[in-house]
Every structure is written in structure tokens, then in C-alpha cells.
Structure 1
Amino acid sequence: MRRLSRTPVLAAVAMLGTSALTVSLLAAPAEAGPRKTRVSASLSATATNPGEVVTLSGWVKDKGKQKRKVVLEQKIASGWRTIGKTRSAKDGGYGFTVPTTWFYSTKLRARVKPTRKHRGKVSRAHKLSVVPAYTPLGSPDSWETLGESRDRWNPCRTLTYGINTSRATPDAGTVSTGIHNTIALVSQATGVRFKFAGETSSNPLDRKWKRKDPDIIFGWTTDAETKLDLGPTTAARGGYDRTRRARDARGKLIWEAMDGGVIYDLTDTATMNATEFQQLTLHEMGHVMGLGHVSVADQYMTPGVELYSLPLVYQAGDLNGFSKVGLQAGCTKVVRFHRKTSLERVAPVATTLD
């Protein structure tokens, strides 16, 4: 009896299976991608004074009623930074209170984060200007940098400061109040955040920096006890001691400050009242943040006694200079060479006549 071959049958079955699979794949609907999202945004004001309430609000529109993650972003030189977070309501509405604690003129926008089912989206950017409630004196062009390479701190990190009141004159209460008030005005002008680290036993600008020390230190000494010139015409010196190589928001090499402060001549400050002491500190903190002397008498960065006749607020050139070394200038990034940071010591070159 002749044996029958099953090969044609098996081949037919195999072909039928492949055909069915092909038909099945063709018939299957393509998997849908994330759905589109739209987001709108509007500002309640385009110009305001510090502390005033400004809101950015709008709607998130997509297919589906779910609460979406929305972030408020602000433009600085190094890019967009998140300054607020919220969730939209089920109807898509959302709202932010915009921070107005510092002087700036920049753009704001809302960003909706993507989900598995919905795409992310960015709103149109809107410009907001936070300006002083007073009229600053002088010209915005009246400012200078302390160093040729525009040395400055990284404005995107919180700077700590401490006060050594062990030899403070005229008294600890007066100097502490003046320093705290000045720090608040510097933060308002630069957008840099400061944190008070409390009383310290360390001294500023003595090149004996310890890891536990605050970034910025205020202290007192006499001309005879320091190598810094605190002669008969110099009431204080301010600036930074150590810097490290870094790049700014545009990739340009700069020196980033690591520690600094203000050293006062306790003989000179002993005869000052509270207003005069704060005026002196306003000047020296300009140096600490990277500003140099100017030749005009209507700015706090004047090197002469004219600063003691200015109101206790920074003026037009001072504020413009602070914007160039503050948060609007963008974050800095440290440059590392073979896992070590290139360091430079900088002598405080600032002087103030009393």
C-alpha cells in the first residue's frame, strides 16, 4: 500500500494560518497616540510694584475631564525656571499668584505636563515688569563691575550670611538691624535668596575660611589688626575672598564667588548712627555682590561721603548693576579640571570714606 504524503496538507494549513494572521493584523485598529492638549494663559497686570498681587491664569483644554499638572515658568538668561506648581480643576481652569518680591522685567508662561493619554503643552509667554514704588535717582548706566570678568555669585543658589558681633560698634542691635535690612534690599534688587546663619565667631576676608562658615560674614576690627587697609579715610571693605572658575549662562568663563563679606573699622562705626551704618552697609554689599565704584555721587556705589546723604534704597545705576549680577543674569556652572576646581583668591578692593 502506497504511503500518502502529508506535506501538501501541512503546507496548506501553514499558508492558511499566515493568511489569517495577515488579515487579523490588517483588521486591527492602530493604537491611538496621546491626545492633543491646549493651554491658555493671561496676566492680571503687565507692570507692578514689589509685593503687589499679580496672577497668571488660564484654561487647559483636552479630551477628558481630569486634573492636569501645571507649572509656572519664568525666563532668565540660563533658560526657563519653575517658580510655581498647581493642578487644573476638572473644568480645566488654573491660576497662579506670581512672585513679585524682586525687581525684574521678564517673561512668564504656563506649562502643562504630559500624561500617558494627553500631550504636554506650553502657553504663550507674557512679559511682566516689577519696578520700584519710588523713583530711583540718577542714570541706569551709572554702574560698574568689581572685576573685569564680571565676577559674581551663582544667583540660583541660596547664600548664607552670619554676623560676628563680638566687637560690633556702635552696638550689636544697631548693626544686626542694619545688616538684615540691607540684605533684604539686596535680595529685592538681585532676586538672590539669603538665609541668616546666625552669630559666628569667624571673621570676614581673613583667608581662614572653614567649611562650616557662612558664605558671607560681617565683622569688625581695627586698622592695626588687619592687613587690609582700614586707614583714616576707610570705614570698611567689602568683597569676596575666594572664587572658582565657572561659566555664565552664555558659556563665557567667569570667576564665581565662594566666600566674602564686609570688614568694618570699629573705630569709625562707633560714631555712626543707625542710618549711617546702614548706608555704609548698602555700599559694601554692592561690592560683595560684584559691583565696583562709580564716579557719580547719586548712587550707592560712589566711593565718597555723598552716600551718607542718599535715602535708604538703591538707586537707578545700583539696581541696573544688580540685575547684571543677579538672578536675571542666569545660573552659573562650575568648570572642573581633572576633578579639581580652579581657585583664585581675590583681595577686597572696595573702600568707603567716612
Structure 2
Amino acid sequence: MEKVVYDFFHKNDFDEWIGNFALNLNDIWNEPSARDLDPTNDESYDMTNHSAIVIGKGPSLKKNNHLQKLIESNYSGTIICTDGALINVLKSGVTPDLFPNFFVVTIEPYKIQATLYDDPIIEKFGTKIKGIFSTLTHPDAVSKARKNGIKIHWLHTLFDYNEGKKSINNITSLMVRTKKNKGLPAIQTGGNVGTSCWFVGWKILGCSTISLIGMNHGWEEDDPIETIMSHGQMFEAPKIDKQSELFKKLFPKVHNPEFNSTCILDPIFQYYSSALKEFISRAPSEIRTINATEGGSLFGEKIHCMPFTDFLKNFDQ
């Protein structure tokens, strides 16, 4: 599955990756590295005392009223918002005024990401938000975020480093280091910004406990089948007999025993979910991942599932 997804995006997006990096390079040289945000550079910092909440844009966010519960809590930890959720999160009242350690992450290379930063609410709070951007992000998205006051911090996103010296990851890293001696930090992405935020939480921002909300990585059972089969109209739905074994394999129903809920995975969500589960299982023992989404496909080894209100009570630092 991983190779199929990689080959698809490599074939379709390679030229855009290279073009984006080339246009971003001067800014990458002159703007801060995401490494500058790492509090563990201070020897007195104890990451075991710090937690973060990753906010995705999954349907559970609204279904379970998680943003309002967050507003009403005493939580004082870090907020890491996916770019796709940012506008709605700010409009809900979850803002840097309430949560000063507020970050947004963008890794996608597409021009449409610029629309995620095009709203008066971002202009209102932009100067209080720290942005963490992939070097392959579309320049229009970076420019719009920067124009609205978000301070950009750069990192590499890993996807072909296994190709060695000929990999894009190696080549772009070498180019960055021609003027930025220390280079940039690099993270795995699992192909999506939510997983990237999880990595940012502990690898960049030094938090030992990462809570996930709005991270369903799956569709609701009552979502239209056309939406599920096209990954939200992102692709043309395949013509498959919905009663066939192939359909059941490509779009399986998954029961989450922790929340007694069921979701449906398409091939992309299968990849996202399995990748994040593997990353979590291999994370250092001191990193605790809490799925407080209250649904979806994320459960299993080293994933602690609990209602969001329980997390907020236990980690109201």
C-alpha cells in the first residue's frame, strides 16, 4: 500500500515538488528553521511535563463538541492545528489568546493550500501563530500565511530518503545547507498533515504526551458511498461492484473497540491509519499518544484511547 501511494504521488506531483522548493529556497535560507522552536535545546527543559493537542478536521470534532470542551477547560499546553482545520478552529474561539502556544502545520505541495490561510480570522490572529511549513509547500500558501502575520519555520518532509544520494530529500537538504549550515530538521509525514503534526509534537516541540482530536482517519458509516469511494471527491470513484470481495477489501468497515464505534476506510485512509499506527508503535517509550477523537480507526499498540474530557482533566497543565 505504501509503495502504491508513493508511486502515485511521485508520478503526479514530482514537478510541483521541485518547482515549489526552488521558489521557496531563498526564503528557506533567510527564515527560521523549525529547529529554533525546539525547547529541548535548553538543558533544564523536561519534556515529560509537557503535552500537546493535535487538531485535525475530522467529523468527530463537531460531533463531539471537542472545540467547545477545549475552550471551557483549564488546558495550558500546546495546540498544534492542521492547516485544513485552522479557520474553523479559530472561528470556534480556540485562539492564541486562550492558548498562547499555538502552531499550525502545512506539508501539502498544492496551490489550494493557500485558501486555508485566506480568511480575516487568520489576519486577526496570525501574528500570534507560529507556522511550521515543509520546504515543498506551494509558495502561494506560504506567502498568504506570511502576509497574514504567521511566522514561518521550515522543515524537510521525508518521503524518498531511502533512495540515497539521488533522492529529492538528499538533494534539497544539500541545497539548503549551502547557506544554512545546520540544515533543517526532517520528519516523516505518513502522507498527511495530521500525522505530521504528531511528529512535530514530540520531535520539534518537545512534548511527551500527544492527544489527537479530529483525527478520524476514516469515514462515518452514514457518509455517502460516492464520497467514500472518491476520498471526498478528490478522485474519480472506481467502478466496482459494491457487493464484491474487492470492494470489501478496498473499503473495509473497521470497528473501534475502545469507543465501540465503526468507520469505513478507503485505500488512502488505510494507508494513513496504518502508517501512523506503525510510527506510534515504534516511538520512544516516553512518548504517550492519546486518541481522544472518540471514534475513527486509530487504536492498537501504544495508543491510549479516552474521551477528550478525561484527557483535559488529567492533563490540565
State the TM-score bracket (shorter-chain normalisation): under 0.3
Higher-helix-fraction structure? 2
TM-score normalized with structure 2 length? 0.23
Larger Rg: 1
